[in-house]
Structure 1
């Protein structure tokens, strides 16, 4: 997919056409995403997890322990599943600046995988990981992720753009965030699992940056190739959103199969998940499909305020892509 793919308009640039020389950059602004990941650099050895191990062994109820184990297994499985998407992006958009961002993201995904692999080990649940792909809910999640990844290998430009959009919005910005909410809620409400909360916070912010980059690429493609984004395209995105939502709800059914958390009712998590999907659709100019419950959303607003927002940092203040359109949700200006 290295020949010109411009199908509409008179764009002077074409992100799909090959540029063999390093410069001049055609998309220099995207390099800020590379810098953002470099500035956010972390490794799991920076965090102290000794208290987390003790919390898991003696300071949790059986239901809480089941929630933690299944949540951590679900996170780790995604981290295995998505390793190569960003590393391969140069093959489709052969511009040095785009490829540099993709490779930087790929390295961060390796750090994420290392972190959650370590957490499985110290919590004593690594052996459970061998069986996780036999869980029907996990299998269904793997199936829809595989669909996205298969589209990324298509020679059809519209199929590839769909893959980029779905991966950026539903994988990077949604799929793990209900699990991130669950794990950070222990620290928020119970003052437990502080080390894991730190790792989750660091992961969340980097996943957010990954998704923002993908959304910006989609918007660039939309400007250069508007004919790719027809009515059928929007309907397909909404259908994929419904499929992903149903799969993620089954993940939550499994996570809470032994009981809910007193300090984080399932209804709060469900409302949070619907809102993340709605926001992701809005980010790419697609009509949201879920009715929001503002009262329930208030109960998890702390996640955006405490975990996702970083004060005194205007990294994305000049970005053309705005992350959330909700007045109280995380915006690009809040990130790094």
Structure 2
């Protein structure tokens, strides 16, 4: 493997040169990520446990247990793709610094969702079933299979030598950012913030605020890599690539819609499958817009509480001080109990 500086970001090799810096935008993203550090121990779940015991309906409990079952494996899928696929092909030491930081953030997310399961699902057998969700819950199995099919397509590629291989990588990256982090997780956030809008599960919402910020930064990074590739290799962005992205997005929406039908199967007051479908289409359109593509669905955001979330959590969040993220917590939660 060559260690000389590449001409382009997808050139094979392993660039080690941070000076002169070829892509300073990624180094700034890395530094911003450091400023956005948080820990699971800062999240207070004490009121959530009260909500779960006495305030949630059976349909809402089903929704939240399905949701944390997805969370339990979702970020592990993301971490695997970072390590096995993205890191070795994005040939920029600045970008690899950011990916290292993102991997740390994904590990914190995994710990957060592990803590959710330990506290939200007290029955050991039910908890074990949640951890095995990709095997025993069809709506989650479908999403996992979608992820693996698109992302595993480049695992056997040690280097991107041909135009077709570079397109394969781009589809992996777009699936990773646009569908998995940018659609599956943003759909999950909508359920959390819907419950928060009703005064429920404030601990989950507080932790999700930090995850939301992390994931939004991950999207910015991934789409910036796409922008760099577009400027350096414009020939990759042809009609066939666009058709593949449209197919991918439609399939992702279908997977997430099946998950919504499962989550809402008990009838959750104030939230419908129709509204979730519209929201998923809206999010999908916003992702393809980042790629300079026309909308696929033409749907509007039906959820005012998500519009408010965008304003509260994303506007100028990198300009906030670290102390704005760090909050004092109260209450006792068992973080070190055995499974």
TM-score by length of 2: 0.83
Does structure 2 retain, via aligned residues, the 8 Å contact 1:141–1:248? yes
Structure 2 counterpart of 1:149, from 123, 148, 151:
151
Does structure 2 retain, via aligned residues, the 8 Å contact 1:151–1:162? no
Does structure 2 retain, via aligned residues, the 8 Å contact 1:31–1:97? yes
Does structure 2 retain, via aligned residues, the 8 Å contact 1:90–1:96? no
Does structure 1 retain, via aligned residues, the 8 Å contact 2:78–2:176? no
Spell out the pairing of 1:70-109 with structure 2 (5 A cutoff): 70-88=66-84, 89-109=86-106
Query: 2:181 aligned with 1:172, yes or no?
Result: yes
Query: 2:265 aligned with 1:251, yes or no?
Result: no
Query: 2:269 aligned with 1:266, yes or no?
Result: no
SS at match of 2:22: coil
SS at match of 2:81: coil
Spell out the pairing of 1:292-331 with structure 2 (5 A cutoff): 292=299, 294=300, 297=301, 299-306=302-309, 309-310=312-313, 313=316, 315=318
SS at match of 1:82: helix
Tell me the equivalent position of 1:9: none
Does structure 2 retain, via aligned residues, the 8 Å contact 1:2–1:94? no
Deviation at 1:90, TM superposition (A): 3.3
Deviation at 1:146, TM superposition (A): 0.5
Structure 1 counterpart of 2:230, from 222, 228, 234:
222
Spell out the pairing of 1:35-74 with structure 2 (5 A cutoff): 35-74=31-70
Distance 2:220 2:2 in 1: 24
Residues 108, 314 of structure 1: alpha-carbon distance in 2 compared, 3 angstrom cutoff: closer
SS at match of 1:258: coil
Deviation at 1:131, TM superposition (A): 4.0
Does structure 1 retain, via aligned residues, the 8 Å contact 2:82–2:99? yes
Residues 157, 211 of structure 1: alpha-carbon distance in 2 compared, 3 angstrom cutoff: same
SS at match of 1:264: coil
Q: What is the aligned-residue RMSD (CA, Å)?
A: 2.2
Report how many residues are paired. 303
Does structure 1 retain, via aligned residues, the 8 Å contact 2:249–2:284? yes
Deviation at 1:42, TM superposition (A): 1.2
Unpaired segments of 5 or more residues in structure 2? 320-339
Does structure 2 retain, via aligned residues, the 8 Å contact 1:201–1:307? no
Deviation at 1:258, TM superposition (A): 2.1
Tell me the equivalent position of 2:290: 283
Higher RCO (Cα < 8 Å, 6 or more apart): 2
Query: 2:38 aligned with 1:15, yes or no?
Result: no
Does structure 2 retain, via aligned residues, the 8 Å contact 1:152–1:164? no
Deviation at 1:151, TM superposition (A): 2.8
SS at match of 1:60: coil
Tell me the equivalent position of 1:132: 133
Residues 255, 314 of structure 1: alpha-carbon distance in 2 compared, 3 angstrom cutoff: closer
Distance 1:56 1:103 in 2: 36
SS at match of 1:199: helix
Tell me the equivalent position of 1:111: 108
Distance 1:66 1:2 in 2: 52
Query: 2:210 aligned with 1:202, yes or no?
Result: yes
TM-score by length of 1: 0.84
- List structure 1 segments (4+ residues) > 6 angstroms apart after TM superposition: 1-4
Deviation at 1:199, TM superposition (A): 1.0
Distance 2:27 2:271 in 1: 38
Cα shift readout 1:92-114 (whole Å, capped 9, x = no counterpart): 12321011000000000000000
Deviation at 1:2, TM superposition (A): 6.5
Does structure 1 retain, via aligned residues, the 8 Å contact 2:32–2:318? yes
